[in-house]
Structure 1
Amino acid sequence: MEATQERKTSVDHIDDKPQQLESLAERGHAVTDEHGNVLVQFDPVAEKRLLRKIDLYVVPTVAMIYLWCFIDRANIGNAKIAGMEKDLGLKGYQYNILLTAFYVSYIVFEIPSNIACKWIGPGKWIPAITFGFGLMSMATAFVHSFGSAVAVRFLLGVFEAGVLPGIAYYLSRWYRKSELIFRLALYLCTAPLAGAFGGLLAGAILALPGIGTVHSWQQLFLVEGIITMGIAIISYFTMTDHPHTARWLNEEEKALAIARVKSENVGTTEVTDKMDKKKLLAGVINPNTLVVSWIFLFVNITVQGIAFFTPTIVATIYPNETVVRKQLWTVPPYVVGVAVNLIVPFFSWKMDRRLVFFIFCACLAIAGYAMFLGTTNPRVRYGAVFLAISGAFPFGPLCNAQVAVNALSDSARSTAIGWNVMVGNIGGLISTWSYLPHDSPDFHIGNGLNLAGNCTILITSILLLLFLGRDNQKRNSVSEEEVDAKLAGKTQLEIQELDWKHPAWRWQL
């Protein structure tokens, strides 16, 4: 205990000694002691200035990438009611099979893509896969059969698999745990924004007379794919792997950015550690990761179902409207969804709590699907779409933040986020079979499944909150002497590999 106190005193008020801060930011130096006590006091003014700079340089690029990722995935829903189904001769469940092809590759390549993101570096990997899914979106404009459409959708899933977990993992290198949730929301809110903007853009593109031999729905894929590839090229020059390589940070800012992230992970001596099998596995077998990924599975049944089938559902609510007006009717619910997707994470950030918002959002979605099942009134059903979107979309930042903040090492976070998104997208696969042609226009199967799924989310979230809170109480009862005894004789690497099993760790709720 005396040694710990000596170390803490020697670096106290470190903001007055930038050279010591730079030393702590180097590899091999921890910013906490073995009990999780932070060995440094950061200058709040310098932190605030740094945070604004990171927000300006990091968030806009990834937000734009995810916006077009979601547009290129979901525009098939707009294309369906614009003639794609008829032109390709899709019959029976072939549209659902087309959606399934995307999710097969999307699920399989989730974790491998995030490991590649860590190995190659987010600044290179994310722009590369963005160019790839833009190219596949453009290629969809030239398919003329069901088989070729399936092949292109499968390849689209290969490239898009690493986007959501890759960006979440990338942001975790830059932000404190409490800050991460709102930054995740800033890019994930582009999912409902893509629904709103995608509907407007679809209406505008479909109004064009044609581009050469490309017409109607084909124009959606051609134009949106070209835009995506342009964004990928720009992002290659604007993204950087981590604070070490950021040209827009000076040396003191780099040191502060690294030290503040390390300070929240007991036993961590570097922000970007070397690949380690035990650390990678720790991210997956983390009990918080396993439960949250189970929740995310049901979330994605709702979110992806909304993305693919909202145009179809709205078309059944307003069957006599023109194709363009049906596209435009999909916009208002998404606009509200964007607002809620920012408001909920903002309060989560300020309160530094996530699980209570799991419970709140599940209740919103439950109310929406109960309304849809309980009436055939078009206006009430349209209102239910607002509630379903508002309840579902905040789970993107909530779930990924809850996973990220409870994995200590960089390696563990890469697999924890990858696992969460992979399991979650099994829900996306299920969603492709939740709204079936024979169930139209009431869609009892799809809406009933989502009602049951959100009830499961509500119950599981309450149980997880109780479990983690109780485990924290047990950890609080362990004395510092007992912590020292459990860590005695272990090397620095062995201590890092403990991850969530570290006796000084406390779950983030």
Structure 2
Amino acid sequence: MASSVIDHEKGTETINNRLASPDDAHHQQGKFESAHDAAASGHAATDAHGNALVSFSKDAEKRLVRKIDWAILPPVTTIYLFCFIDRANIGNARHVAPLAGLEKELGLKGYDYNTVLSVFYISYIIFELPSNMACKWIGPGWFIPFLTLCFGIASIGTAFVDTMGQICAVRFILGIFEAGMLPGVAYYMSRFYRRSELAFRLSIYIAMGSFGGAIGGLLASAILTLDNVGSLTEWRMIFAVEGIITVGLAVVAFFTMTDRPETARWLSQDEKDLAIARVKSERVGVTVLLDKISWAKTFRGVFSPVTLSTAFLFLLTNITVQGLAFFAPTIVRTIYPKQSVVQQQLRTVPPYLVGTFFTVLINWLSTRFDRRNLFINLSAPPVMIGYIIFLATRSGAARYTATFFITSGAFANGALSNAQVSANLLSDTARSSGIGMNVMCGNIGGLISTWSYLPFDAPDYKIGNGLNLGASSMIFLCSGLLFLFFKWDNVRRAKVDVDEALTGKSAQEVEEMDWKHPGFRWRP
């Protein structure tokens, strides 16, 4: 055991280093004299069995993580808040003016509204994975603000549509640019945080989805009180005002976001080294934090059994989450048909606030215990209870209470599933493709949700509520089965002779193994 003690007054910390065994020489280039050595390209920060070769002062890490939090979380959470609002505000616009709303003015009838929602998800799904690979290639610091600018402009464009064809075109464009936001930010944050830290930070960011449902209702109600501007009346004002805010946020983001620890102007060189070294220290076989894109690693990320199974869970989750986002005003209107439009909008706010609270709480617990799959499993029963109530009674009070059960569990899985995929992929390329795959499949669930609440099924919506009950029940069952897989395969992997399995392999071949590395263990 070697150690180097560095002057705390100069901003760096005590770092204890464990030396690699001779058998690990081709995976580890000797001892580390500093965090800079551990962070350097070509140096693995674990041995061949996945054991960290460097440990850090807890105080140093706490200070660094706090600094990263304040630099990264405010811009990405605010951006995603309006990303969600710009996507879901069509649900508010549908009901803001019963006599001259979106549907009547555009001549939408029957299933036309469902078709408009579906068009968004077609482009959203198609561009999900390519967008996240582009995010890696271009860099999140430029790509995420660019996406924000573009979907803000698309939202403004929605205020000027006059036909169903035009709104379908604008929604398709909106889907292209929003496709990269959820996986892009999740991937971006994985460059800075350890696996145990990621779920909670993602929850703060993804909680903006549930919080966005609340803010969207409040904002729509507030915009209704504004004077009309030219042809922008009632529902058109919602898209215009919210789109302008989004464009403003994009401009700010171009100046405040960074790509990775090395380019973060708000970190000192010692802090940059520490940020890189500590992330590498839990990724077996990884010698560089940001690798070059390769097809081998891309396929490892997409076709990992944990990526595919978690993506299926996220698909089921999004049937509920996106269905609730688009149809919450409709559901509330069936519960309280005699209230004014503004009162109905405001009724959608409290359930979303409860959802925001539980999203953060559940993911904080996930970070506290370094477990993700367990909390995916435990988030399903409240959703199941909510939809059972919807199906079992017509009581308005009972049904409104059910929406609180649903939001308390439904939104947590966005952070948990992306954190689970990230925790079980090693290379930067595999994580970018794996997270993209997860969110792409999740949004297939969003596409399904657009056809879950159909006009002929009102006011009870037994088909939509039954579908959501089935989806949440499957999450509970399948996440339990996935836990058994984690346990079984880790036992199997423990029996493998790591040194023998790696004999004769080059450093590049070892890195391209990713989750197939014999020293890797699944992290539930």
Q: Tell me the equivalent position of 1:190.
A: 208
Per the alignment, residue 500 of structure 2 pairs with: 485
Asked whether 1:3 is paired with 2:22, we answer: yes
Matching residue's letter, 2:247:
M
- Residues 86-119 of structure 1: per-residue CA shift (max 9 Å, x gap): 1111000000000001000000000000000000
Equivalent residue number for residue 57 of structure 1: 71
Partner of 2:7: none
The answer to whether the Cα contact below 8 Å between 2:366 and 2:375 also exists between their aligned partners in 1 is yes
The residue identity in structure 2 corresponding to 1:505 is F
Determine which of 362, 370, 374 is the counterpart of 1:344: 362
Structure-to-structure mapping, 1:45-194, within 5 angstroms: 45-82=59-96, 83-194=101-212
Alpha-carbon distance in 2 for matches of 1:444, 1:31: 54
Q: Could you give the per-residue CA deviations for residues 45-95 of structure 1, whole angstroms, max 9, x where no partner exists?
A: 111100000000011111011100000000000000121111111000000
* In 2, Cα distance between equivalents of 1:268 and 1:309: 45
| Cα distance change on mapping 1:294 and 1:9 into 2, 3 Å | closer
Partner of 1:504: 519
Kept in 2, the 8 Å contact 1:361–1:392? The answer is yes
Q: Give the whole-Å Cα distance in 2 for the aligned partners of 1:209 and 1:380.
A: 37
Residues of 2 paired with 1:136 and 1:507: CA distance?
41
* Equivalent residues of 1:143, 1:149 under 8 A apart: yes
Q: Which residue of 1 aligns with 2:509?
A: 494
Q: Quick one: distance in 2 between partners of 1:337 and 1:293? A: 22
Distance 1:380 1:238, change over 3 A: same
Equivalent-residue separation in structure 2 for 1:497 and 1:445 (angstroms): 45
Structure 2 residue aligned with 1:214: 232
User: What is aligned with 2:251?
Assistant: 233
Gaps of 5+ in 1: none
Q: Indicate the residue corresponding to 2:16 in structure 1.
A: none
What is the aligned counterpart of 1:474 among 492, 495, 502?
Answer: 492
Please name the residue that 1:271 is paired with: 289
The 5-angstrom pairing of residues 397-408 of structure 1 reads: 397-408=415-426
- 2:350 pairs, out of 332, 343, 349, with 332
Q: 1:303 aligns with which of 321, 328, 333?
A: 321
Match of 2:221 among 203, 224, 233: 203
| TM-fit CA distance, 1:328 | 0.3
The reply on whether 1:22 has 2:36 as its aligned counterpart is yes
Looking at structure 1, the residues matched to 55 and 106 of structure 2 have their Cα atoms a distance apart, in angstroms, of 63
> d(CA) in 1 for partners of 2:145 and 2:227?
32
CA shift, 1:5, in A, is 8.7
Partner of 2:15: none
Name the residue aligned to 2:387.
Answer: 369
Residues 274-293 of structure 1 correspond to what in structure 2 (within 5 A)? 274-293=292-311
Distance 1:354 1:128 in 2: 31
Pair 1:5–1:471, CA change in 2 (3 A): closer
Aligned to 2:405: 387
Which secondary structure does the structure 1 equivalent of 2:62 belong to? helix
Q: Which deviates the most, 63-72 or 29-38?
A: 29-38
Amino acid at match of 2:107: G
**TM-score, length of structure 2 as denominator length:** 0.94
Structure 1 residue 211: deviation in Å? 1.8
* C-alpha distance in structure 2 between counterparts of 1:9 and 1:168, whole Å: 31
Kept in 2: contact 1:8–1:40 (CA 8 A): no
Structure 2: distance between partners of 1:423 and 1:37? 33
User: In percent, how many aligned pairs have the same letter?
Assistant: 55
What's 1:449 paired with?
467
Matched, 1:440 2:455: no
Tell which deviates more after alignment, 1-10 or 211-220. Answer: 1-10
Look up the SS of the partner of 1:218 in the other structure: helix
Note if contact 1:296-1:395 (Cα within 8 Å) is conserved in structure 2: yes
Distance 2:176 2:144 in 1: 13
Of 270, 287, 299, which aligns to 1:252? 270
Q: 3-state SS of the aligned residue for 2:55? A: coil
Question: Which SS does the other structure have where 1:55 is aligned?
Answer: helix
Q: 1:41 & 1:138 partners in 2: Cα distance?
A: 50
Matches of 1:406 and 1:10, distance apart in 2: 26
Indicate the RMSD between aligned Cα atoms, in angstroms. Answer: 1.4
**Residue 29 of structure 2 contacts residue 43 of structure 2 at CA under 8 Å; is this kept in 1?**
no
Structure number with higher helix proportion: 1
Query: 1:212, CA displacement in angstroms?
Result: 2.4
Please state how far the C-alpha of 1:210 moved relative to its aligned partner.
1.0
Partner of 1:31 in structure 2?
A: 45
Q: Which amino acid aligns with 1:267?
A: G
Whether contact under 8 Å (2:28, 2:43) holds in the other structure is no
2:241 pairs, out of 223, 234, 240, with 223
Deviation at 1:394, TM superposition (A): 0.2
Change over 3 Å in CA distance of 1:84–1:108 after alignment to 2: same
What residue in structure 2 maps to residue 294 of structure 1?
312
Report deviation, 1:209: 2.6
In structure 1, C-alpha distance between the alignment counterparts of 2:188 and 2:489, rounded to whole Å:
29
Whichever residue aligns with residue 3 of structure 1, its letter is: P
- Mapped partners of 1:242, 1:5: distance in 2: 29
Separation in structure 2 between the aligned mates of residue 58 and residue 359 of structure 1, nearest angstrom: 29
Residues 283 and 414 of structure 1 are in contact (CA less than 8 Å); yes or no, is this contact kept in structure 2? Answer: yes
Say if 1:2 and 1:262 are closer, same or farther in 2 by CA, change over 3 A: closer
8 Å contact kept, 1:279–1:497:
yes
- Separation in 2, partners of 1:41, 1:145: 61
Secondary structure, counterpart of 1:41 in structure 2: strand
Question: 1:282-338: CA deviations, max 9, x gaps?
Answer: 001100001010111111100000000000000110000111111000000001001
Q: Distance in 1 between matches of 2:49 and 2:417?
A: 27
Contact 2:45 2:54 in 1 (8 A): yes
Alignment-mate amino acid for residue 346 of structure 2 = L
Q: Using the TM superposition, give the Cα deviation of residue 476 of structure 1 relative to its aligned residue in structure 2, in angstroms.
A: 2.2
Q: Which whole-Å CA distance do the structure 2 matches of 1:169 and 1:5 have between them?
A: 30
> 1 CA distance for matches of 2:358 and 2:439?
21
